[in-house]
Structures are given as structure tokens and as C-alpha cells.
A and B are shown apart, each in its own frame.
Chain A
Amino acid sequence: EAGVTQFPSHSVIEKGQTVTLRCDPISGHDNLYWYRRVMGKEIKFLLHFVKESKQDESGMPNNRFLAERTGGTYSTLKVQPAELEDSGVYFCASSQEKWTGYNGYTFGSGTRLTVV
């Protein structure tokens, strides 16, 4: 089966611009997660979708970040306007089960965002 796909793999934008990251989960996975890793630090949870609904968005840093998952398939994460501190690697993951236990998550390769 195809894995979790993220694009672009890299993005360099100027401060104040808008960037949209996309994640295509494994087909049939209802659960979709966004995580972010700022340089050298831990991978931090951003939000969790179950199908098209936001189950938990407690990790979203501020209202410059908007995540959507129309139709319960792919998801987008928009940053508008981007700030320097938004730089990092954005990971998407998906899972079939409702809980983390059995198989953990399947992660994509990440999008490396650099804001200059």
C-alpha cells in the first residue's frame, strides 16, 4: 500500500507570505495527525483529525495556522502569514485504529519549511 505522502518536501518562503502544506494519508485511515519539529527540538503534536472533523487541535500554536481535511481524505495545513519561528519540519501521520497502541502511526517524510 502507498504510504503517507507529503508535499512539498521543502519550501522556502519569505516572512509574511502564505504557505500550504499537503498530506495524503494511507487510504482508509480515518485518523490524521500533524506534528512539527523545530530545529533540534522534540516533535510536537499540532492536531488530530478523525475523518473530516478536528478531534483535538490543542497543539496549534496560534490562529495563523489553519488545518483542513475536506471529505476526510487529504489534509492541508496553511500558515498565513508565516513568521520566522514557523520554520521547522512538519510531519503528517495517519492511523486506522482509534488509539495509538497497536501499530503506532505511519508517518510521512515531512515538509521542511524555512521562513526567511
Chain B
Amino acid sequence: AQSVTQLDSQVPVFEEAPVELRCNYSSSVSVYLFWYVQYPNQGLQLLLKYLSGSTLVESINGFEAEFNKSQTSFHLRKPSVHISDTAEYFCAVSDNFHNNDMRFGAGTRLTVKP
């Protein structure tokens, strides 16, 4: 079965600084990868996903993630963060397109300070 490791439980950064939230996965088969974000008092929202094709995927609010098969990673990056990016971020993996079995990491709490 697949699993996900998010290496940092908390990441504090200053506004306008770059950030990288790390995610590594393990799976014996091809995977589909997701990043979800949970803003305070809200549900999980899909931020971006990798299904196939280009290994670099982007979100509408400036985040990007790159699928690296050799390193089994799907790190999330943003070149310049805003206060409003403060949230908890979850990496998730699914290794069976028909199985509806999505596994999540433990989450990374991103805190952007002024």
C-alpha cells in the first residue's frame, strides 16, 4: 500500500519569502499525487494535482509542485508567500485509479508572519 511522509510539521516564514513544503511517498505502482489546503475553520480544498504528463503542476494562487519519480517526491513551492497562505497543507497519494483509496500525510502547518 502507498504511504506519504511530510517531513515538516510546522514551517514558519516571513511574508514575501519563498517556501517549500516537502512530501515524499512510497508506492510500488504508478501514483497520482495531490496537495490539499485547509484554511482556518474550513474544509480541505484541492490545491493542485499530478495525474500524468508534465511533472510540474501549478495552482491558481502561485503554488507549484514537481513530481520527481526517482526521488519519490512531490514538494510544494511558492516563490513569495502572503499572509493569506497561512494554512495547513496536506500531501496525498492514490495508487489505484479505480480504488478510491487516497492516503494523506500528517500535514504541514505553514505560518506566514509579517
Show the binding face of A for B, using Cβ within 8 Å: 3-4, 31, 33, 35, 37, 40-45, 48, 55-56, 91, 93, 95, 98-110
Contacts and interface: CB of A to CB of B under 8 A. Distances in A.
Given A37-B107, A43-B107, A107-B36, 14 more contacts: A3-B43, A31-B100, A35-B104, A42-B4, A42-B103, A42-B105, A56-B100, A91-B44, A99-B97, A100-B32, A100-B34, A101-B51, A107-B45, A109-B43
Nearest to A9: B41
A98 B99 CA distance: 8
A103 B106 CA distance: 21
21 contacts: A4-B43, A37-B107, A42-B105, A42-B107, A43-B44, A43-B90, A43-B92, A44-B104, A45-B102, A100-B94, A100-B102, A101-B94, A102-B51, A104-B34, A104-B36, A104-B49, A107-B43, A107-B45, A108-B43, A109-B41, A110-B43
Interface residues of B, number: 27
Interface of B: 4, 9, 32, 34, 36, 41-46, 49, 51, 90, 92, 94, 97-107
A97 B82 CA distance: 34
B47 to A, nearest CB: 9
Chain A CB count within 10 A is highest, among B46, B49, B97, B100, for: B100
